[in-house]
Structure 1
Amino acid sequence: MKKINNLETERLTIRAISTEDAEFILELYNSPKFIEFIGDRNIKNMEDAANYIIQKFLPQYEKLGFGNYLITRKSDGKKIGAVGIFEREGLDVHDIGFSFLPEFEGNCYGFESASKLLKTVIQEFTLKKISAITTKTNFSSQKLIEKLGLKFQKMVTLPDDDVELLYYEISIEAI
């Protein structure tokens, strides 16, 4: 099976997340904006973070050949965020998502990393559509999703959740 392991852009390296990244996942997933806009994943310590990687990220990567990726800045090796394309319960279309530590927002790292991953997955795999979801109040995420070319389709609610989300989609022919 094909797998996307490592990608590069002018300023960033993008690689599959591993258990070695548990400390970063602990920090990222407990940042205030992550909890507000994405949700509390109940990752409270390093063991929780490592288990989350093992249970959530690695199986999708093995099944699909792609999944969640760590974003590192080339200039100083700093881990700044994550980007991924996922199978998500309640969605029929693979979903692109991204998150950054607050101090690295607003530098176009989101567009740079997400567009690189999106183009690579489209070239390497036979996906017909990609989706994205976000909250009504996450305006920076909405802006990035639209900049990536996805168009708003409808409101959705995922299983075991009561929050209405904006659902975006793009057909691969449009890219």
Structure 2
Amino acid sequence: MGLESGRLLLRRYRDEDFEFLYSLLKQPEVMRHIGDGKVKSRQQALEFLYWIYRMYREHPEHGLFLLVRKEDGKRIGHAGLVPQSVNGQTELEVGYWLAPEFWGFGYAREAARLLCERGFTKHGQSALISLIQPDNHASQKVAEALGMECGAPVLRTGLYVLVYRVQKERWHAISHT
């Protein structure tokens, strides 16, 4: 799967992208709002890459995809549609991470908008979610820009995360104005 927006190309991870992935996973400022908030070792990063590959096999249209800036081919982060279990229900999450040097330029919003479009049109979802830690205000702004509203928190990996959700009708009304 390859997706394109105005400034970004989303493509599947390949083995040669490992060093970039590891560079994200070992940065405290990136990981503080992801999972348990801890940086990952090289071995844990390799296990995460294998998880990404398993996701591609098990859910060919879903998973985390590398974000590449079209103007210069630079890897800037990743984003994707990932199945998540929330209160016993499987829902599709719009997720996004960027390397810190690319924060604040609207790349996460651009990628997330593209993924919402795909989730609603190609995958026929009636709603999409984003799981966001309470102190991750930048991700909350991205979710709110997509029309997502904050619901009740859920417990994930020992921490509470906020469940942001947008219904298809609301997203279409907001994204097409």
TM-score (norm 1): 0.86
- Give the aligned partner of residue 61 of structure 1: 56
1:104 offset after TM fit, Å?
A: 0.4
Deviation at 1:48, TM superposition (A): 4.0
Paired position in structure 1 for 2:112: 114
Q: Assess if the C-alpha contact under 8 Å between 1:28 and 1:34 holds in 2.
A: yes
CA contact (8 A) 2:32 2:38 kept: no
Report the counterpart of residue 101 of structure 1 in structure 2: 99
2:10 to 11, 14, 17: 14
**2:14 & 2:85 partners in 1: Cα distance?**
22
- Structure 1 segments (4+ residues) deviating >6 Å: none
Amino acid at match of 2:41: K
- On the 8 A contact 1:23/1:49 being kept in 2, the answer is no
- Cα distance, 1:144 vs structure 2: 0.6
1:43 aligns with 2:40: yes
Q: Please state which structure has a larger fraction of its residues in strand.
A: 2
**Stretches of structure 2 lacking an aligned partner (at least 5 in a row):** 172-177
Residue aligning to 1:88: 84
Stretch deviating more after TM superposition (65-74 or 87-96):
87-96
CA displacement at 1:41 relative to structure 2: 6.5
CA distance in 1, matches of 2:21, 2:162: 25
What is aligned with 1:157?
155
Structure 1 residue 66: deviation in Å?
1.7
Match of 2:26 among 26, 30, 43: 30
Distance 1:62 1:23 in 2: 22
Asked if structure 2 preserves the Cα contact closer than 8 Å seen for 1:134 and 1:141, the reply is: yes
1:61 maps to a residue whose letter is Y
Q: Distance in 2 between matches of 1:129 and 1:17?
A: 26
RMSD: 1.8
* Residue 152 (structure 1) shift: 0.8
Judge which range, 84-93 or 147-156, deviates more: 84-93
| 1:19–1:50 Cα contact (<8 Å) kept | no
CA offset at residue 34 of structure 1?
Answer: 2.3
2:140 is the alignment partner of 1:171: no
**Aligned equivalent of 2:145, options 132, 143, 147:** 147
1:85-143 deviation per Cα after TM superposition (whole angstroms, max 9, x unaligned): 11124452111111111000000001111111220232111222111111111111111
Distance in 2 (alpha carbons) for counterparts of 1:165 and 1:43: 20
